[in-house]
Amino acid sequence: MKKFPLNSRNTKFFGRTLFINDKLWLIHSASGCEFTFTGRKLSLSIGCDIDAYKNGLRCNKPRVAVLCNGRPVVKKVIDELCENFSIISSDSVVTKTIRIVKLSEAAFSLACVSDAVIDDDAVIFPTPRNSLKIEFIGDSITCGYGVDDCNSQSEFATEAENAMKSYAYVASGILGADYSLFSYSGYGLISGYTGDGKRNTRELIMPWYETVGFSYSSVDGQKTQDLPWDFNNSPSDIVVVNIGTNDNSFCTFDKSRYNEFEDAYLKFLRSVRRCEKNALIICTIGTITQEPMPYIENAVRRMNDQRIKTLLLPQQDGTLGFGSNWHPSEDTHLAAGEVLADFIASVTGQ
């Protein structure tokens, strides 16, 4: 048996990840890696970050899945700094596609993938890149918040998050696209979620978009929000912006606030266009609320950019159930993902 580092030469990385000191750090929802394994034995070491470990709250630790030929063989919250998983154990040589995916979001914890352990004759090589890459910018809906919990009264927990069931993952799968998610539960442009009308400035997404991303955790003592993200390294063909649901909780207390939201949305679109110069940008909302859509459409008109489109997603009505805290269910995400994929296909001819 031998240790085998999972690096960019032998593994396809997807999403906003970091490779530091021979370890792959999974930062955002649905970030991870994929490779083809040929051999008899494969085990993986996956751990949570030191901050989450010391915090001790299981509801804030990273949730991770490992898939073998598309079938989940591991799906759990990572409680320890290092947990070992036997993925393949065969008497004969087999060839399998292995995908490691972080199911939970960046804010509360990070996941670390160390060396693989394989038999001496085994080989690992990256799966090919797809011809289309989509980045999704969003809030809890994009994260897949609460999708694995059918109790609408439940509060937040990373163990109920599953980005692989989000509309973003669904749409990417239908289109055969690589993807990246940049999403935070409760975050907005002028205010994060508020239940009393007071502005929530603690949960704003715009300050972190051009960084690896915000997290209360750190990578070897380094804060991810202090690290710039290199958009030129892997530019997106399409950027889907699904922001405004949490701003709406602030704006409904005073309708004049929608004008501020519109201005902030325009400013954010300019930032996205500066970073993703050639991408088609799709501005969408609707799963939980559709109220901000006219202001989003106004911001898009003010951009005067023919490569920016708008799409209103179908609003949940309870017929397909709910996830925790009244968030979209798996079936709602599936329906929204199909609508988005159809729209992208119609616009791009995919």
CATH, residue 194? 3.40.50.1110
Higher-scoring residue by pLDDT: 7, 30:
30
Shared domain for 120 and 139, answered yes or no, is no
Share of the chain above pLDDT 70, in %: 100
From 126, 143, 161, give the residue that closes a domain: 126
SS3 content of the chain, % helix, strand, coil (to 5): 25, 30, 40
Shared domain for 176 and 313, answered yes or no, is yes
Backbone angles phi, psi at 346, to 5 degrees: -70, -35
Shared domain for 14 and 155, answered yes or no, is no
Shared domain for 118 and 149, answered yes or no, is no
How many domains, in total, are found in the chain? 2
Shared domain for 217 and 307, answered yes or no, is yes
Q: What is the pLDDT of residues 205-252, one digit of tens each?
A: 999 999 999 999 999 899 999 999 999 998 999 999 999 999 999 999
* CATH number reported for the structural domain that contains residue 96 in this entry: 2.60.120.260
Q: Where are the alpha helices (DSSP H) in the chain?
A: 50-55, 140-143, 167-175, 245-251, 257-275, 293-303, 330-348
| Long-range own/partner contacts, residues 223-230 (CB < 8 A, 24 or more apart) | 224/18, 224/27, 224/106, 224/110, 227/18, 229/16
- Residue 2's pLDDT band (boundaries 50, 70, 90)? confident
From 126, 152, 186, give the residue that closes a domain: 126
Contacts of 335 by beta carbon, 8 Å cutoff, 6+ apart: 314, 320
Q: Which domain holds residue 282?
A: 133-348
Shared domain for 217 and 95, answered yes or no, is no
CA distance 97 to 37: 6
Shared domain for 165 and 139, answered yes or no, is yes
In this prediction the pTM is: 0.96
Shared domain for 201 and 110, answered yes or no, is no
Shared domain for 109 and 14, answered yes or no, is yes
Shared domain for 245 and 313, answered yes or no, is yes
Position 278 pLDDT exceeds 80: yes
Position 343 pLDDT exceeds 90: yes
Shared domain for 49 and 161, answered yes or no, is no
Tokens of 259: 């004008």
Question: What three-state secondary structure class fits 324?
Answer: helix
Q: What is the pLDDT of residues 23-80, one digit of tens each?
A: 999 999 999 999 999 999 999 999 999 999 998 788 899 999 999 999 999 999 999 9
Shared domain for 94 and 120, answered yes or no, is yes
Measuring CA to CA, how many Å separate 120 from each of 123, 292, 312?
9, 57, 53
From 106, 126, 146, give the residue that closes a domain: 126
pLDDT of residue 56: 78
Measuring CA to CA, how many Å separate 74 from each of 45, 85, 175, 197?
12, 8, 25, 41
